[in-house]
């Protein structure tokens, strides 16, 4: 998901909404249940902030003046949102993250703040995976985890029809909800990885891929988590190999960049797969899987392990089957011909192997 940055159009929309209710000058007396400027000077400062010609740097300077001069402004909530947008425009995501956290204390459904926290928590964490987490890193992950869980539990309210931002179409708003739910789930998986909590990471990344099979980065993360558990859970290696293959070979929407895909593929080809299998036999067929969703995650380990069993053994396992003997014999012969074809296409070879596996399963159960 692209990092979310609110454009300056949002400031204009926010300003327009506020100007519609703001007096042209400071009122002589405050009206009950209505926001009021403290004086004309506060309104003038605000007017400078929302000028279309104001640069983000100029806006930030005036925001600081406004906050220092009017700390108890009745428009403090609006000021916080303009601060958030301005920090984002200046690429100050430490400050933006902190401001978003403050906004959510009183407005937990504020989507701009939710997007900032979920979209940029990774940028605030150590880039070296071996680096220890600081107290601030841990606090940021905790904040992001709470926000992700909140969005997943309250998506209907956050994305209610009456919450649609000005300028967004109905179709865009309808798509925003599932997009952010998927990203929230992925963020929970990422947090598990950062915290080195393998159980959490595995559970949340698996949920991510169930919600969005195209999320190749989640496949890569899950594969890495499972590989790290191979000593205590060798049975998870098959799924790890499947996820590495998925991350390396999938090139549709949600795919990783070509350079990262090559790195993953090199690791799978030269180390992970041959270490587990003892050779690269069956690797082309694994890479020819229909990505991202032809094979269910739950079926992957059995299919991967099926490549370890020589065809002769599978044929032997079918030899005693009598109820559909003619069908089995014909299928074995068809499979043999495909297996023996010179210059066989790996995709067709895998389809044969998958049929082979399905037939074996049906016979043996």
Q: Is the pLDDT of residue 351 over 80?
A: no
Q: What is the pLDDT of residues 105-150, one digit of tens each?
A: 999 999 999 999 999 999 999 988 889 999 999 999 999 999 999 9
Cβ atoms of 232 and 213 closer than 8 Å: no
Average pLDDT score over residue span 216-238:
92
Cβ atoms of 132 and 117 closer than 8 Å: no
Give the residue with greater pLDDT, 18 vs 120.
Answer: 120
d(CA 289, CA 162): 43
What are the distances in angstroms from CA 192 to CA 3, 90, 208, 298?
20, 30, 13, 21
**Burial state string for 324-347 with b = 16 or more CB within 10 A and e = fewer than 16:** eeeebeebbeebeebeeeeeeeee
Give the residue with greater pLDDT, 81 vs 347.
Answer: 81
**Which stretch, 179-193, 267-281, 340-354, has highest mean pLDDT?**
179-193
- Cα four-point dihedral sign 90, 94, 95, 96: positive
Q: Is the pLDDT of residue 240 over 80?
A: yes
Residue 52 DSSP class:
T
Give the residue with greater pLDDT, 251 vs 188.
Answer: 188
148 — phi, psi (to 5°)? -65, -45
Average pLDDT score over residue span 11-18:
42
Position 129 scores a pLDDT of: 82
**Which stretch, 56-65, 205-214, 275-284, 331-340, has highest mean pLDDT?**
56-65
The secondary structure of 103-114, three-state, reads HHHHCCCCHHHH
Give the residue with greater pLDDT, 8 vs 361.
Answer: 361
Cβ atoms of 255 and 216 closer than 8 Å: yes
Position 358 scores a pLDDT of: 54
Closest CA to 184 of 157, 137, 218, 224: 218
Position 10 scores a pLDDT of: 45
- Under the banding of pLDDT at 50, 70 and 90, the label for residue 157 is very high
Surface-to-core class of residue 177, CB atoms within 10 Å of its CB (0-12 exposed, 13-18 middle, 19+ buried): middle
Position 58 scores a pLDDT of: 96
Tokens (6 digits) for 307: 């490549």
Position 1 scores a pLDDT of: 36
Cβ atoms of 248 and 265 closer than 8 Å: yes
Q: Is the pLDDT of residue 348 over 60?
A: no
Average pLDDT, the chain: 81
Position 21 scores a pLDDT of: 38
User: pTM for this structure?
Assistant: 0.77
């Amino acid at each position: 998901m692209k990092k979310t940055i609110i454009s300056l159009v949002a400031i204009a929309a926010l300003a327009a909404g506020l100007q519609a209710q703001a007096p042209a000058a400071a009122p002589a007396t405050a009206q009950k249940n209505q926001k009021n400027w403290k004086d004309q000077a506060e309104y003038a400062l605000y007017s400078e902030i929302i000028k279309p010609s104001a640069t983000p740097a100029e806006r930030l300077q005036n925001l600081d003046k406004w906050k220092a001069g009017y700390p108890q402004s009745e428009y403090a909530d609006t000021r916080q949102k303009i601060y958030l947008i301005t920090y984002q425009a200046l690429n100050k995501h430490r400050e933006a993250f902190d401001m978003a956290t403050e906004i959510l204390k009183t407005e937990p459904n504020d989507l701009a703040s939710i997007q900032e926290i979920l979209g940029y928590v990774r940028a605030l964490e150590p880039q070296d995976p071996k680096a220890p987490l600081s107290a601030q890193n841990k606090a940021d992950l905790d904040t992001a985890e709470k926000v992700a869980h909140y969005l997943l539990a309250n998506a209907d309210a956050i994305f209610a029809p009456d919450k649609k931002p000005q300028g967004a179409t109905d179709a865009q708003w309808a798509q925003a909800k599932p997009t952010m739910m998927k990203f929230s789930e992925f963020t929970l998986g990422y947090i598990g990885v950062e915290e080195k909590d393998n159980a959490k990471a595995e559970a949340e990344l698996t949920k991510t891929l169930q919600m969005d099979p195209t999320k190749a980065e989640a496949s890569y993360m899950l594969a890495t988590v499972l590989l790290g558990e191979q000593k205590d859970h060798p049975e998870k290696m098959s799924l790890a190999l499947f996820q590495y293959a998925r991350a390396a070979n999938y090139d549709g929407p949600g795919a990783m960049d070509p350079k990262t895909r090559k790195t993953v593929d090199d690791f799978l080809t030269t180390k992970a797969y041959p270490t587990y299998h003892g050779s690269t036999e069956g690797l082309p067929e694994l890479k020819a899987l229909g990505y991202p969703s032809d094979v269910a995650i739950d079926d992957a380990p059995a299919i991967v392990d099926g490549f370890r069993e020589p065809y002769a053994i599978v044929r032997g396992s079918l030899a005693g089957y009598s109820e559909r003997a003619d069908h089995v014999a014909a299928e074995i012969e068809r499979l043999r011909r495909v297996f023996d074809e010179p210059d066989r296409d790996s995709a067709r070879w895998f389809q044969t192997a998958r049929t082979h596996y399905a037939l074996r399963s049906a016979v043996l159960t």
